[in-house]
Every structure is written in C-alpha cells, then in structure tokens.
Amino acid sequence: MADRLRLMAVHAHPDDESSKGAATMAKYVAEGAEVLVVSCTGGERGDVLNPNLKDDVHILRDLPRVRRDEMKRAQEILGVQHTWLGFVDSGLPEGDPLPPLPEGCFALEPLDVTTEALVREIRRFRPHVVTTYDENGGYPHPDHVMTHTVSMAAFLAAGDPAAYPHAGAPWQPLKLYYNQGFSKEKIVAFHEALVALGEESPYADWLERWEDRPPRDITTRVHCADYFDVRDQALLAHATQIDPDGTWFQVPRDLQASVWPTEEYEAALSYVPIAPDEDDLFAGIPDVAAGDELATRGGLEVVHDQRKASTL
C-alpha cells in the first residue's frame, strides 16, 4: 500500500479510549499503522471517581481542563493521534424519575450536526477501519448511545458524495467494529484463575449481581497482551477517573496475558468479508485498499451486516 493502514476509534469521553481497545491501538501503532482517537465530548459533567482525589480543590476548580490534560498524557502513552469532536458531555442522569438531559448536551444535538462533525474527521483522516460502541452504547450512558448512532450514520455518509458535500472529499471506511472487551466470560475466567491460585478474587460479588444479557456475536479477537502495560499506563493517566487500587489492577498482568490475551470486537458493517476466527481488524483490507480508488461508496456492497436495533 502507498498509505499506511489507518484506524479510527470513536469514543464518548476522555478515558473511554484507555479502557476499551487501548492495547489493540498500541499494538497497531507499534506495527506502523496510524491510529486516531475521536473524543465526542470533553467529559465536562463527569465526577472525580478516584477516591484519593475526590477532595482535591485544584481538580474540582476546573475538572474539564484537568480531564483534557489527562487525555493528552494518555494519547502520548498510547502513541495515537487525537481530536476533540467538540460536543458537551450529557452527564449520566440518576434518580427516579430520571431528570431530563441538560440543554445543549451531546445526546440532544441534532443528528445531522453530530454526523457532519464526524464525517469531517473521517474524510480528513481517511480510516480504513472504525471502532465504536454497539447499539446499547456498551452501557446505557446517553453519550455512549449517541456515539453509536453518530458513528453508524457517519460511516455510511462519509463515502457518499451527495452527503455533507462541504465536509471534505468523500472517503469510505471499509469496516466498522463494536468494542466488546467486557464480558461475563472474561470476568469468570479471571475469577476462576485467581481462586485456583488461592488468591482473593475481587469479582465474586460482581458475578453474584451480574444481570445476564443476550450474548454478543464476537467475530474478532486481537492478540495484544504485549501491550497490556501500555494500556494500564494510559488508564492511570486518567487519574481523576481511575482508582489505582481498584478492580482494574487487581489481576496481575502476567495472569491476564495467560488467561485472556486478547481484546474482542464485533464486526458490525463491512465491505470486505469477515473471515471465521478473525484476529486482525485490518484483515482483508490491504488487498482491496491499494489507493484512493475506493474513496467513495460507489460500486461497493456491504458483505457483512450485523447491526441490531437498540434494546434500551
């Protein structure tokens, strides 16, 4: 290929990129691919989740700026490019009944507005692969669900010359995946491995309270255990969001590498075939993306469509 392979990871808030697919991104950067993280919001309405910092007045005085600084450090650790899409965090509504979302937040923006913003980034960066969240947002935060909706719309619009003609020259990504790295099977595997070693498992209570959901159709497992350390460093860069003594870090990395050395994805839409037991998000692409001749969707047909309606 004349160009390097390019991956775009679309996320709702700063820190999401480090908890979902970070080792995969670090692996591809090390192998020479270009990786761009798109943060749809600045995480302005997030809370300080690290108990060690919850009373730090310097952080509380300007949490949005702190979170931007944390994102910059995580970006540097992962070796990725990064852009802010520029929308405002919706917050996670709590209570019964749930309060309305705040005016002007990302989840309430018109879809044409949010889609055009992401289409501009797709056409500028020209990714071959896009990753995002499934129809449930991975978990039901309104910004995560909106990120899914916007990603799907922009993926289909970016290669259409008639869509958003002022947002740059058309470019059609060839594959779109959902991050699916958090599953009951993974937690059970860690729990059983710790118990077998005579160690206390932090997951026993989790599993007792687990609410089963329909299983996801995992299509792709990327082996990336060599980059778990980079992933963890990026997570810890988001100091306001990540407790260094929390569950994230209670399974030794060497045990993780032996028990669960992959990050999982669900191919949602693809213009190239998805092979059984796929282990590479770029699989099938170098053979067909030798230049810009596939910049538009014309002549391309979706050969893999695993989209589902939202169950929220």
User: How far lies 57's CA from each of 29, 48, 173, 284, in Å?
Assistant: 37, 11, 44, 51
**Is there a domain that residue 245 lies in?**
no
**Is there a domain that residue 305 lies in?**
no
Closest listed residue to residue 303, CA positions, set 255, 258, 279, 270: 270
pTM for the full predicted model: 0.94
Tell me the C-alpha distance between 72 and 231, whole Å.
14
The pLDDT of residue 151 is: 98
Q: ∠32-172-21 over CA atoms, to 5°?
A: 45
Tokens of 289: 């993306």
**Is there a domain that residue 247 lies in?**
no
The pLDDT of residue 301 is: 86
The pLDDT of residue 206 is: 85
Q: Is 16 annotated as a binding residue?
A: yes
Amino acid identity of 289?
Answer: A
Q: Is 13 annotated as a binding residue?
A: yes
**Is there a domain that residue 293 lies in?**
no
The pLDDT of residue 310 is: 61
**Is there a domain that residue 13 lies in?**
yes
CB 14 within 8 A of CB 74: yes
Beta strand extents in 193-246 (DSSP E only):
220-223
**Is there a domain that residue 207 lies in?**
no
For residue 79, give the CATH number of its domain: 3.40.50.10320
pLDDT tens for each residue of the chain, 312 residues long: 447 899 999 999 999 999 999 999 999 999 999 999 999 999 999 999 999 999 998 898 999 999 999 999 999 999 999 999 999 999 999 888 889 999 999 999 999 999 999 999 999 999 999 999 999 998 889 999 999 999 999 999 999 999 999 999 999 999 999 999 888 999 999 999 999 999 989 898 889 888 888 889 999 999 999 999 999 999 999 999 999 998 888 899 999 999 999 999 999 999 999 999 999 999 999 765 655 555 667 668 888 888 887 644
**Is there a domain that residue 252 lies in?**
no
**Is there a domain that residue 283 lies in?**
yes
How many helices and strands, by DSSP H and E, does the chain display? Answer: 10, 8
The reply to whether omega before 97 is within 30° of 0 (cis) is yes
Name the residue range of residue 277's domain. 6-181+261-288
Closest listed residue to residue 175, CA positions, set 156, 160, 161, 150: 156
Question: Tokens 């989740």 map to which residue?
Answer: 49
Q: Is 144 annotated as a binding residue?
A: yes
The pLDDT of residue 95 is: 84
For the chain, what is the domain count?
1
Dihedral angle sign, alpha carbons of residues 12, 20, 169, 299: negative
